[in-house]
Amino acid sequence: NAGVTQTPKFQVLKTGQSMTLQCAQDMNHNSMYWYRQDPGMGLRLIYYSASEGTTDKGEVPNGYNVSRLNKREFSLRLESAAPSQTSVYFCASRPDTEAFFGQGTRLTVV
Amino acid sequence: DQQVKQNSPSLSVQEGRISILNCDYTNSMFDYFLWYKKYPAEGPTFLISISSIKDKNEDGRFTVFLNKSAKHLSLHIVPSQPGDSAVYFCAARRPYLYMRFGAGTRLTVKP
């Protein structure tokens, strides 16, 4: 039972490069989320998808795009990476109340 | 706009004693509150929650208290164990909306 799976686990990008963070869940949850964790800031929501085919901005959406490919998969894209996007990124899915998180992607932009 | 606040970045307690982690919120529309635990290099895991219509919820060694008038909740861990050493995040949710998280409190339980 995998739960929420994120790939990759680690990534180093140069400023201006693009990349896509992948997330898949096997729990048949409707809602999926992308958070970033920064020291002293906790977890801040980037984008979320309440159901397949819908996406909405969270607290810090600038510089990111998302795609809800199907019910299982929710990807996060950085079109032109900036050093300010150095962070740990977490994907989560939620059936109703508590959310289930992936193990995270540690991204460094140099 | 930090609607959920954990003002103590760290807490250190002795094994066997009580750990009390605090959380304050500003939005009276929050209807559900959660605590998550996070170990290094892992994702947060759900620990315990409480609905806004209750003032206490207990699960084994973990108890969450909610004081709506003060917009304050706390997590009590009794007795504390070294394996409880982790970062604890408080989260709050408005109906049909996403959760907002606090900055986290790093708990260290000393043997």
The span from the first CA to the last CA of chain B, in angstroms, equals 38
Contact A84/A38 with Cβ under 8 angstroms?
no
Query: Confidence band (pLDDT; 50, 70, 90) for A72?
Result: very high
At B98, the pLDDT band (50, 70, 90 cuts) reads: confident
Using CA atoms, how far apart are residues A95 and B54, in angstroms rounded to an integer?
21
> What's the average model confidence in pLDDT over A94-102?
86
Pairing of strands A19-25, A74-78: antiparallel
Tallying the residues shown for chain A, one arrives at 110
**pLDDT tens for each residue of A28-43:** 999 999 999 998 888 9
The per-residue pLDDT of chain A, averaged, comes to: 94
pLDDT tens digit string along B19-30?
999 999 999 999
Amino acid code (one letter) for A41: M
Question: Is A44 in the B-facing interface, judged by CB distances under 8 Å?
Answer: yes
**To the nearest whole angstrom, how far is the Cα of B67 from the nearest Cα of chain A?**
20
Per-residue pLDDT for B83 more than 70?
A: yes
Structure-block tokens of residue A109: 């932009």
* CA distance linking residue B13 with residue A75, whole number of Å: 40
Task: Specify whether the CB–CB gap between A42 and B23 falls below 8 A.
Answer: no
Q: Which residue on chain A is closest to B51 by alpha carbon?
A: A97
Q: What percent of chain A has pLDDT over 90?
A: 87
The pLDDT-based confidence of B67 (bands split at 50, 70, 90) is very high
For residue A44, list chain B residues with Cβ-Cβ distance below 8 A.
101
pLDDT at A1 over 70: no
Contact B46 A99 (CB under 8 A): yes
